[in-house]
Structure 1
Amino acid sequence: MSVLVLQVFVSLMLVAGSVVLFAFSVRHRDYEHSDRLSLFPLEDDSARPAPPSPPPSQSDFPR
């Protein structure tokens, strides 16, 4: 009988913990994080790309 009481107690603590964490998340508006990230630009348009490097010459290769 004590195992059943322990199992019910642990289950209720898990449920209570999940409710508390959900309330904390809603209060701090964490659920909108993915929406904010999707609105950020992927790359800065004002940045210039690096100039391409010149192709290697024949003297760069070992013989």
Structure 2
Amino acid sequence: MNVIVLQVFVSLMLVAGSVLLYAFSVRHRDSEHADRLSLIPLEDDTARPPPAVSSEANPRQ
């Protein structure tokens, strides 16, 4: 019987800890950073630097 009480106590502590960590994450808006990072590949690449020309590609120099 003591084991069941201990198991219920530990389970409730795990649930309480996960609820607190979720509330902390929502308060600090950690998930918005992941949303912003997932949209980065969709941005338009209009300002591309010119391709670098190596001396091996152009043997006349």
Q: TM-score, normalised by structure 1?
A: 0.66
What is residue 61 of structure 1 aligned with on the other side?
none
CA distance in 2, matches of 1:9, 1:18: 14
Structure 2 gaps of 5+ residues are none
Q: Deviations over 1:2-58 (max 9, x none)?
A: 1000100000000000000000000000111122213445x7x35444323406xxx
4+ residue segments displaced more than 4 Å: none
Q: Percent identity?
A: 68
CA distance in 1, matches of 2:55, 2:12: 64
RMSD, matched Cα = 2.5
What is residue 4 of structure 2 aligned with on the other side?
4
Larger radius of gyration: 1
Q: How many residues align?
A: 55
Q: TM-score, normalised by structure 2?
A: 0.68
